[in-house]
Every structure is written in structure tokens, then in C-alpha cells.
Amino acid sequence: MLGVESRLIIIERDAKPVTTSHAADTVKHTTCYECDANCAFTVTINPEGVATGVKGLKNCPRGQLQLERQYHPDRLLYPLKRVGPRGSGEFERISWDEALITIADKLNETKEKHGAPAAAFFAGYTKEARPQLQRLAHAFGSPNYLTESGCCFSSTMVAEKLTYGYKMKTTSTIESPKTKCVLVWSTNASGSIPPFENHHLNKKKRNRQMIVVDPRRTETAELADIHLQIRPGTDGALALCFHHLIFKNNWQDQAFLDEWGSGVEAFKEYVKDFTPESVAEICGVDAADICAAVEMFSTALPSQIAMSPTSTVQHSNGFQNHRAMILLSAVLGMVDREGGNRFFNDKVLPKPIEKFDICLNELPPRIGDETFPIWTKYWPAAQSMLMPDCILEGKPQKMRALVAMGINTAMWANSKRMERALGELDFFAASDFFHNPATLQADIVLPAATSLERSALIAYPGCAYQGEVKYRRRALPPRGEAKPDAQMFLELGVKLGMADEFWNGDLDASWAEMASGLPDEIREEAYEKPQGVIVYSPVIDDLVDEGYMDADRQWRMTGFKTVTGKIEFDSLELRDEGYDGLPTYKEPQESPISSPELFKAFPLVLTSGGRQKTFTHSQQHNIEGLLALDPKPRVQIHPEDAAARGIEQGCAVMVSSPRGAVEFYAEVTDIMKVGVVHCFHGWNDANVNELTDDASLDPISGFPAFKSLLCEVAAGHSS
């Protein structure tokens, strides 16, 4: 009974405060945003309004330790104005009114002098405020809304949509009990996919064989029946060899290809040169292992490819490499079949508020339309990897002002160049939780509210047919004067004279506008239930109505949403834009084969960005509890390569490339392939992207080659 004790825990089931006459802890249901998986959990809040614990985020140290970030002493809590040179870290506190008026005035000044497109709007983390920021950009008159997707996920999506008319990666790591063989292509669930070690890809399964393609012998690779430890960037050659052997052995589903393949004969002719012997030499693996892997994948059916959103596309030829890989599903007839690779289908979605139709129909070209027209055709943003060129060289467009949330120069290849570019902007404003190398270049810095301090309408994509819609109410009041990023953009819209278009600054009203696009019962349930509501794609009913009770292979009903209505082995869209229509293989721009002279000076292949459950990119690297788990920026190097350089475990080393040199700490380990080193990313004080190349972008997507370059490693001092 409530009267018995003076302190109780009250479960807030409907996300409304529960009151009592006695001091009591309150438990609120909410969702995590230490990555964008939006996992549900509860937070305990004491009578003083301080969060004291979280529960429900098993096996995720980021989520479990998020309160350490919530109450971190270095967190930005008030608007700041730069008073010293850019990069100096000299700021003074100002009011929100001054901050917003300053930004609005500078944007209007840019517009008057140079036109609205000279002002750009960038979204990194958090992603929840993207609709409001994109609306601000387009309402202001700028087409140049950009996101971190300029180097993450979007290339895989565009390659899949162009080839199949549907997304596939999104569903590729969902388990099917019917899968007899899973081909895990450069993804390691224990570091990247909740629940990490407990993900089905990190478990041995009866009646399921596993092949892993990865330059590192990851935790997932340790479980594999066959591990193809390829040289980074040669994924396309390996995939084409798979095709070569499938056709040679008549393992293909010829009836399916005859009906649903476009350009198959040209493709079949092209792959004849990719023999196991030649590809073994390219990739640095045994021909016998390739043959065994292809036979396993092609005969233990149904088989599935499990993919990463980035690992195959962050190369100078990544887009075509990814196409070669995903076409394996088509050749075997494993397309949108249970146990194979399922299509991702949209479910009920909130009403769009981004004003992207205005961007397409009324505004000038976006950055990237000039250079990467296929990518911008499919992706609703400008290409952010071109930002340094825009600022420093005026190519393909001149950028003079920037409003950004969650930006960090560590995201860009050749990061020091991006840092210099931000310093040369006429005006730059940024929002974030903490300072980083980007915010130190800003004129105005705004304090962002955490996910515990902000509301959001969340449409989580889920799997092939099933997704979730949630409305997260804030669990805590913002600390200091922090505000949700979306709130900032609405208030900025008001300061720019567009109050009616920005709900007079009312954030909840903007979410309500989006929610108005949902069916009434789904909207009401999403608002009432903290755990959200499950939603389904209408294509399930369509399949059943057509008599397809197995609810897969929807191409029987709709075909493929491509130019030809078939699977594009030889893409007409790519050909029309002057690209190779076939998924042709090209060596990485920097490699032992393509740049032998450079290889003499930098005789190791550099790959980077292996995921860790400890950190989300450059986030959380200031959390002591997480640093206790992984305290130093590491470069993984094989014992043979380490011994040849006098490098010992734990010693400081300099990793150098044609772009510069960065100090890391050596992890000497035989999980690495001889001749290949791997650097973990996201460390501001040891940023591997200071070494990566921003000049050799993938010609179709504009993605940088984070994962296949050249470097050297030299011993430093023992640590």
C-alpha cells in the first residue's frame, strides 16, 4: 500500500506522471538513442527529478551507461558565441534569442548576397530532427540539405533499388529458420547489431552452414565453416567469381533468370574471366576455399546473404562491388523468398513534412546532382562528401554558410581538409552535446537535448513486412538551456519570418502533423503506449488476395520496380548516365596493384571502421565507463607485420598515409590478414580519417574509400 512506505517505485505505464503524497521514484518507459535502433527501456527518476538508473538494455554498454553522458560535466548546456579565433575553443555564453537572431540574420545576409543555395543545412546525429531541418532548408530556399548518409547506408540502398527496385540490406540480417546457408559479407553482429553477441549470426545453428567474407577474423568469422579473408576492396572480384562458378556448374535458377533477368547474357559473358585462380590472386585467398564456398552457398538452399550497410560500398568502386554481391540472390533464384534475401517493404508512414517536393520542383540542383546524378535521383539529399570542395573551391557549388546538427569532421575522409573548410565559411552554426573538432570552428554553438529530454515520433523500419511506430515523450526536463534539435529549427524558422510554416515553434505540433498521416487507430495507440504499435505492410494482404498464401516472392504479383520491370544485371539507368551497366570490377584507387609506386612507400593495406558495441562512431568516447572497456585508439596488425617493424603489443605507433600521420596503439593479433591493418574510427584525438582519401570518391555514389587504402606503420614508444 502507498501509505506503508515513504519511498516507492511507480511504473508509469501510460507515460503520464504518477503522483503520490509521498516521495517516490518514478519509472518511465522510453526509447534509447545511443544508436538509431530505438530499443525500449525504462529509466528510474528520483523525487528530485534526477535519473538514477536504466533497465532493459541488456548487453549494450552504450545504453546502460547513457546516464554518464546525460550528466557529464563537459556537456554543452547554454548557447555559445565564438569570441576567439576559429578552433581556439574561446566562446562566451549568450541567450537563445541572441543565438537564433544571429543565425537568422547571417542566413538572410547569405541569401541576399549570394542566393539561398549558398546556405547549407547538415544533419548528422541525432536523426530524429531531420524532417524539421530539411523543411527549414527548403522553406528557406536552399536545396542543399545534407546528411551523414553521404557516406553511410545510402549507397547500398541506391544500388539495391537500381538493381531490384527494392531495398535488401535492411532485411538481410533478419533470421529465417528456413535458411540452410548464410553468406555473411563483411558484417560482424557482435559489434554492430543489437543484441550483439546474442544475435543469430553469432550463434552456431543446426542445419545452417555459414560462410564469412571479411578481411578480419571477427567473432562471426570464428564461427564460419569457411572464412574468405580477402584483401580489402576486392569484394567485387570475389562476387563475380561466385557468379562464374555458379554458371559454370549450372547451379543458377535458369527459369527464373529467363523470366526476370535483364542483361543476363552480357553479364554471363563478363564473369567468364573471373576464374577461381585469377580471383584467388586478386583477393589473396585460396582458390580451393573459394570453390568450396560457392558450392556450399549454391547448393545448400535456400541461402541468404547477410550484409553491412557500409562495408562493401566504402571503396572507390564500392557501388558496383555491392551490385555484384547482391545479384547472387538473383542468379540462384533466392530473391524475396523465405530463407533467402527478402525485400524490405514500406509500412504505414507518417506524413512527410520535409518539403522535398519543393526542392525537386522549384529549387536549383542539389550539391551532387552535377556529379552523382544516380545517387541523388534515389536519395533525398545533397551529397555531403562534396562539402569541402564546395567551401574551398566552389565546386560544384559555392557554400558560404552552414547550419548543422551533430556534425564532426571525423566523418569526412581527409578530415583536416574538412576542418579547414569549416574554418573558411562566412558563417557556421552547430548544435551538439559536446564540443568536437567541428564545433570548435563554429560561430554559434547550440546545446542539444538528449533523447531522454525530447519527444519524437519514431517509425522504426523493422523487417520485410513488420515495423513499429512509437511516440516517445520526454522522460526528463532538459538540463541547463538545452533544447531538442528539432525545436531549434522550428524556432529558427519563426525568426526567419516563417512562423506559420513552422507551427509557431511548437515541436509537439510538428510531430502531430506528421502523425496525422497515420491511420487513426495506429496514431492513437502509438501515442498511448510507450512500447509503440506494430504495423504491417499492405503488400501482405495484396499477396493473400492474389492467392499467394506463402506471402513472399511478391515479384510474381508486381514484377520488379526497375526501368525494365526486371532485375538489372546490365543497368539501363547506369548506361544512360555514362557508367558501366554491368557490375564491373575495378581495383581500389590505392592498392598494391593499381598504385605500385605508392605501395613502395606505404606497403600495408589500410582498412577502418570495424564496429564496436562500445561506441557509436565518434560518440561516447568521453564516457569513463566505456573507456574502461576500450581505453585507447587501436590499430590491429598481424604479428608478422609487427615483428618486421619492431612493433610490440600496446606500444604507440604512427600510422601514415599520403594524407598525414596519426598515433594509435598497436594491437598485435593474428585476426588480421598479413599485409593488412585495421584502425578503429571515431576517436577525435586519433582520427583515422585524417589518413583516408577524399579525392577518389566512388564515381556513382560519391562515397569515400574508408576501407581500402595504403599506409605504413612505424613503432613509437612502449605504453
pLDDT tens digits, 473-499: 999 999 999 999 999 999 999 999 999
Q: How far apart are CA 636 and CA 630, in angstroms?
A: 14
Per-residue pLDDT tens digits for 191-240: 888 888 888 999 899 899 999 999 999 999 999 999 999 999 999 999 99
Determine which helix (DSSP H) or strand (DSSP E) holds 259, and give its type and residue range: helix 254-260
**Does residue 6 carry a pLDDT above 70?**
no
User: Residue 38: which residues within 8 A CB-CB, separation 6 or more?
Assistant: 31, 32, 458, 460, 468, 470
Round to whole Å and give the CA distance between 203 and 189.
10
pLDDT band for position 55 (50/70/90)? very high
Residue with cell 547538415: 122
Question: Is the pLDDT at 11 greater than 60, yes or no?
Answer: no
The residue-averaged pLDDT of 587-608 equals 98
User: How many whole angstroms separate alpha carbon 636 and alpha carbon 669?
Assistant: 6
Are the C-beta atoms of 426 and 107 separated by less than 8 Å? no
- Distance in angstroms (rounded) separating the CA atoms of residues 228 and 286: 8
**What pLDDT is recorded for position 470?**
93
pTM of the model: 0.94
- Residue 14: the pLDDT is 34
pLDDT at 2: 27
Exposure b/e, 182-197, CB count within 10 A at least 16 = b: bbbbbbbbbbbbbbbe
DSSP SS3 for 713? strand
Nearest partner of 261 among 317, 322, 328, 307, judged by Cα = 328
Average pLDDT over residues 453-479: 92
pLDDT in tens, 525-577: 999 998 899 999 999 899 989 999 888 999 999 899 999 999 999 999 999 99
How much is the pLDDT for 114?
A: 98
Owner of C-alpha cell 566512388: 698
Per-residue pLDDT averaged across 366-393, rounded? 98
Q: How many of the other CB atoms lie within 10 Å of CB of 510? A: 24
124-158 pLDDT, tens digit per residue, is: 988 999 999 999 999 999 999 999 999 999 999 99
pLDDT surpassing 90 at residue 464: no
At 434 the pLDDT is 97
* Residue-wise pLDDT tens digits, 248-277: 999 999 999 999 999 999 999 999 999 999
d(CA 669, CA 286): 21
Q: How far is CA 206 from the centre of its chain?
A: 32
Find out whether 422 and 428 touch, Cβ atoms under 8 Å. yes
CA distances from 622 to 69, 488, 674 (A): 8, 25, 33
pLDDT of 716: 82
Model pLDDT for residues 396-428, shown as the tens digit of each residue? 999 999 999 999 999 999 999 999 999 999 999
Can you tell me whether residue 361 is helix, strand or coil? helix
310 is written with which cell numbers?
557500409
Return the pLDDT at 1. Answer: 24
State pLDDT tens for residues 319-367.
999 999 999 999 999 999 999 999 999 898 899 999 999 999 999 999 9
Q: Which amino acid is at 519?
A: P
User: Which of these ranges, 232-241, 364-373, 611-620, 637-646, has the smallest mean pLDDT?
Assistant: 611-620
Contact 230, 238 (CB under 8 A): yes
Angle at 164 between CA 161 and CA 166, to 5 degrees: 55
Confidence label for 717 from pLDDT (cuts 50, 70 and 90) = low
Question: What is the predicted pLDDT for the residue at 8?
Answer: 29
- Helix, strand, coil percentages, rounded to 5, for the chain: 35, 20, 45
| Residue 66: strand, helix, or coil | helix
Average of pLDDT values for 616-634?
Answer: 94
Q: Closest Cα to residue 699, out of 589, 607, 593, 543?
A: 589
Instruction: Give the pLDDT confidence score for residue 37 in this predicted structure.
Output: 84
Q: How many residues does the chain have?
A: 719
Segment 12-39, tens digit of pLDDT: 333 333 333 357 999 999 999 998 888 8
What distance in Å separates the CA atoms of residue 5 and residue 24, rounded to the nearest whole number? Answer: 9
Domains of the chain, each with CATH number or no CATH: 26-71 (2.20.25), 80-152+349-534 (3.40.50.740), 168-342+553-577 (3.40.228.10), 596-715 (2.40.40.20)
In angstroms, the CA 620 to CA 653 distance is 24
